[in-house]
Amino acid sequence: MSTNISIDYITHTFKSASAPTLKDIELKIQPGEKIALIGRSGCGKSTLLHMLAGLLIPSEGCVRIHGHQVNRPSAKWNMMFQKASLYPWMSVRENAELGLVFSGKKDADKIDYLLSLVGLTDKADANVQSLSGGQQQRVALARSLATSPDLLLLDEPFSALDAFTRSSLQDEVAEIATREDLTMVIVTHDIDEAVAMADRVLIMSANPGRIVGEMAVDLPFPRNRASNEFSRSREALMNKFESLVGSDSPSTEEVAPADAEADEPVASKSDVGKTQQAA
């Protein structure tokens, strides 16, 4: 079941900062919609994503999911980070079922289905250290899906992968989000990735971070990157980005003040438990 999201006039200032990182963010996301957030380094796109996940509370305003204010993580809105953050001493299956283990709802059949969905059935009993980077991210995806979330949040999860693996996973995740009826929000610096995965792309400016524009991407999934329609959409998005934000392309990293919450989860049992168990 997908979910509707309301971002109600969020402004956020980190403790060590004199100016806000985000200012007057107002947004509605419809159930089942796939959203991409693009912007330059420091525009606050990852900060906004963390607020959707309940990992960071805004200074002003709030996030509402299904009409309820988000003030903590939940198994119903799961995040994939740039690093898979798997337990290296566990097998693929053991990592994938962590959320169910912490909630006391182990379901071997469900894990079998998810490993099949992400193409890892034959790796179920392998140690995750033996996997490639793309395979590790597939394990992280299966782990995120195991708790049957309504909302999937993606913080540049494919940025460290090679181009072929990255394109494959972009298509797979968009297809899975559609098949499983998920609402999806991805932060990316990659114009092609935004066009490949999103129904709607939101453009953010910096200092302070604001949503200054958007563009619908009305192409069928899976999207053919070699098609004229894809090229036209890519060019239109690039032109729109440059007209609103400037001529430099979106950057690959986003740096928050030192006292900001960490962008990456620590692979500890207590931290994963908090995220997967929260309701």
Domain ranges of the chain: 5-277
Is residue 243 predicted with pLDDT exceeding 50?
yes
SS3 268: coil
For domain 5-277, the CATH architecture is 3-Layer(aba) Sandwich (3.40)
Q: What is the pTM of this model?
A: 0.85
> Which pLDDT value is given to residue 249?
52
What's the distance, CA 23 to chain centroid? 21
Residue 93 identity: R
Taking residues 83-105, report their average pLDDT.
Answer: 92
- pLDDT tens, residue by residue, 2-15: 678 999 999 999 99
> Which pLDDT value is given to residue 5?
95
pLDDT band at 208 (very low <50, low <70, confident <90, very high): very high
Contacts (Cβ under 8 Å, ≥6 apart) of 104: none
Structure tokens at 87: 């337990």
Q: Report the relative pairing of strands 68-69 and 60-65 from DSSP bridges.
A: antiparallel
Tell me if the bond preceding 222 is cis, omega within 30° of 0: yes
> Which pLDDT value is given to residue 17?
86
> Which pLDDT value is given to residue 209?
95
CA distance 25 to 44: 11
> Which pLDDT value is given to residue 72?
92
Contacts (Cβ under 8 Å, ≥6 apart) of 5: 27, 28, 29, 52, 63, 64, 65, 151, 183, 185
pLDDT band at 154 (very low <50, low <70, confident <90, very high): very high
Is residue 272 predicted with pLDDT exceeding 60?
no
Percentage above 90 pLDDT, the chain: 72
> Which pLDDT value is given to residue 212?
96
